[in-house]
Each structure stands twice: as structure tokens, then as C-alpha cells.
Chain A
């Protein structure tokens, strides 16, 4: 049963068609990776699902309920959480305040907010140490932890992550992706956009490859990792990188 289902999505920026009929689906507790080069439409896909962009046509459903036409805040209330590209944490607020905003929709239930914050501090002990610090003073890795922590404060059914490992040292990138795996194992469906295709395919069950607004390949992550075209386009040259940062 698909938790998130996108069908034939068309999105325009002015007259430019950014998405030319994207269809994808994600089942409960699955990690679904979206791969593709710069400008392929990965970020546009996520921004459309979370309601920041309006599609010209197509359908988006979460557990069978349509999300098209809902406001962005309404879509969060439906259980979709989005960690945007570049993290977009609130620099001038403290770590704790950032998490409180993640729980904005449940703000009247203080016990619940406290309980979820406790769970996030357990997942990311570094955030607990720095809870009264301004978010802008955190390191890149800590900011990414905060962005993920803030997004799961609403206990989403679907967590969408846009390049969570971008700009992080390889060891931190791996640790972030391991946490993503952990979150998915608890039953959250994850839609993962990653530059680091190889690591994304290691933790994902399914994957889609987007090129210029169209899905060009889809399938089991393990199958795609072996696909010649994927290897050539997205895994090529990886040997050089992997020798610089060996797997643990």
C-alpha cells in the first residue's frame, strides 16, 4: 500500500516546464531515493509535494487523500515533513526554539512537545548539549541534525530530505544517512534526494532517476546500483572518492 503516491505531475516555472509528468510511489517504512543531476527536477518534485509550488496538473496523494491544492502548512498537518535544500534552519533562534517550531502544530499539547523533543535529543545527543545555543552557531553537521530533528517533531508519515549530506565531511554524511535509515526503520516513509547516489542506493529500497523533468529509470535500489547507465552517470568516478574516504 503506497503511503505517498505521485501521478503524472507537471510543474511550470512561468513557461518553462520543470516537471514533465513525474510519477512515483513510496510504501510504508520504505526509503525511496531520487537521483539525478543538477536541474533535473528533484528539488522541484519535493517542493511541489510539500505545497511550496503548485502543479499545473497531476495528483499527489498521501494514504489515498489528495494533497493538491492544500496550503503548505495544511500538507504538514497531513503528515508530510520536508527538510529543504540547504537545511534552512532558523539561525537567529536557539536549537530548542527551532525544535519547538517543528512541533508548531502540536504546540497546545506541551507534554507531547516535551516528549518528542526528548526523543530527538536521544537521537542527536549533540543537540541536547547545544539546546540553548543559537542555531546559526552550529557546525554544518549539527545544523543538518537540527533540520532533521525539527522535521520529525511533527511525527510525519513521510519525511522528505533534500540533499541531507551536501557539504558534510564523508564521515558525517554517512552518520546522517545512518540516522535516516533508523528513522525509516521506525515506520516513517522517507523520500531521499541525494547527490551521493552510491550511499543513497545502499540505504534505499527503491529509487528513481530523473533527467530533465522525466523519470528515466526506476526500480529496486539494489538493481539500479548494478545498472550500467546508473553506474556510468551517477556512480562513475566514485572509486577515486571512495579511496579517499573508505567505508567504515
Chain B
């Protein structure tokens, strides 16, 4: 029982990172039916902006709380600007054309972000300050939980809670959900559709950037290629939960995190991708609408 609970703690921590990235996929898909394959790479960009602040600019020497706030807020804003740029220059000209063209453009944007980051930050593996956060933790019965794990999960849950409150509780959030149903009807309500699309890209990028900084703090090592697998796993999470569905993305992220932790724990880390992508294939074959995706209406 001990190891099982230990793997569960690890799975939920990692799962919350996947959930944040999966939310980005799902918000953007919900509104313009695009799988934004650059989502995982946005996370990587966020991780590098955070690293630049903490290590290159020496913010790690500031008081801990201040350093952490800056290391989250600035990458979230910076990555949002990057994603708006991608929307404006790469996706917008294609929005009313073929979905295939825009999908391939998204794959291209993923490569642009990777190679752009390699140019800026270099191909080497960089390290987040390993002693920034306290390494110790506490025992909950037989399970050891570090304070970092608790903090990262709490921050993820706050971000997700904030997103849900925004989407469910505000008129602007309602407009986002309306756009998932009918763009023309939304226009007739006086909704500026382009503005709401931009908002979705900003939110998606901010969540991805936050997850990138968390990955850096948790695993310490970051590299320009880290967004690729992260993106694919988060995509699997979004599909598993039912793409376009916000609670689905959160649940899917947690499930993928748990699956990965149990696989590593009971089998071997080498089997992680086999199992995770096995799940993707199974969901696509057996229940393509995912666990929560019963209300997906195709507009294509």
C-alpha cells in the first residue's frame, strides 16, 4: 500500500502539470476547432523565461515569495504575447480556410518555437536553482509528501479554479462557451469574436507557461525539446477527457499523470510512453469523444 500511495502523490503532481497544458488545448479547440500543437512548446518557452529571470538575472537571490511570484507572472505574460503573435501571423490568415492547413501550421509553429528557443537559449540543458524551494517534506502516514509537491499542486488547483470561475461565472466566460456552439449567433449578440479568440489564446498560453515554470521547479532540468513530449501527453489527456471539455481536460491530465507514475513505479520508466500513447489510441478507437465529451458538436 505504501508504494502505491507514494506513486499516487507523484502522479497527481505531474498530472496537474499535464492538466494545465491540456486546458490550453481544450480552450482553443473549443473555440476554433484547432489542435494547437504548439501548446507544449509554449510551456517550454514559459520555463525558459522563468529560468532567465531566476538564474540569468539573479532573481533567485530575492526573497523567496517575491522571486516565485515574478517567476510565474512574467513568463505567463511573455508566453501570452508569443501565443498572440502566433495567432495573429500564422493562424488568423487561415482561420476561415481549410482546417488541415491550420493544423499543419500548428505543427510548424511547434518547430518554430523549439528552434527559436534553441537560438535564444542554446541547445544545452539548463538547471533551475535546485535549492530555491525547501527540499524537505512531511509524512502523511506511510507517504512522504514534499512541500514543493504540495505547493505546485495547490498553485495548479488555484489556476484551474480561477479558470472555471471565469468561464462559468462571467459574461465574458459565457461568451467563450457560446463561441464553442455558434460563431454567427455570438456575433449577433454583439460579441467581438476575434477578441474572444485572442482571450482563449492568452489563457491557454498562461496556463502552459505556469506549467513550464512548475516543471522547471520540480524536475530542475529544462531543455528546448521538453515541450514536445509534454505537449503530446497533455494532448492525450485532453482527448481522454473529451477535447473541448474543461473538467475533462483536468481529469484527463490527472489520469495521465497517475498512469505515468504507476507505470514508472511498477514496470519501468521506459514503458511510460507506450502506456500513455496506448491510452490515446484506445480512446480514439473506442470512445473518440472522451470521458466527458458527450456534447461535442462538430462544426466542420
Contact = CB atoms under 8 A, between A and B. Distances in A.
B187 A88 contact: no
B175 A104 contact: yes
Q: How large is the interface on B (under 10, 10 to 19, 20 to 34, 35 or more residues)?
A: 20 to 34
B184 A101 contact: no
B182 interface: yes
A104 B179 CA distance: 13
A211 interface: no
Contact of A84 (B185, B190, B191, B193): B185
Nearest to A103: B171
Contacts of A88: 182, 184-185, 188
Nearest to B177: A93
A28 B44 CA distance: 58
Interface in B177-206: 177-178, 180-182, 184-193
B171 A73 contact: no
B73 interface: no
Contacts of A90: 177-178, 181-182, 185
Contact of A73 (B174, B182, B187): B187
Nearest to A134: B295
Q: Which of B172, B175, B190 counts the most chain A CB atoms within 10 A?
A: B190
Contacts, number: 70
B189 A97 contact: no
Interface string B139-177: 000000000000000000000000000000001101101
A100 B185 contact: no
A92 B190 CA distance: 19
Contacts of B185: 84, 88-90
A60 to B, nearest CB: 16
Nearest to A110: B171
Given A90-B182, A92-B181, A92-B295, A76 B188 contact: yes
Contacts of A104: 171, 175, 189-191
A93 B174 contact: yes
A76 B192 CA distance: 10
A180 B70 CA distance: 56
A154 B178 CA distance: 17
B194 to A, nearest CB: 9
24 contacts: A51-B187, A52-B184, A71-B187, A71-B192, A72-B184, A73-B187, A73-B190, A73-B191, A73-B192, A76-B187, A82-B188, A84-B185, A88-B182, A88-B184, A88-B185, A88-B188, A90-B177, A90-B181, A91-B181, A101-B171, A101-B189, A102-B189, A105-B190, A151-B188
Given A52-B184, A93-B181, A101-B191, 17 more contacts: A52-B187, A52-B188, A71-B192, A72-B188, A84-B184, A84-B188, A90-B178, A90-B182, A92-B181, A93-B174, A93-B178, A97-B177, A100-B171, A101-B171, A101-B175, A103-B171, A107-B172
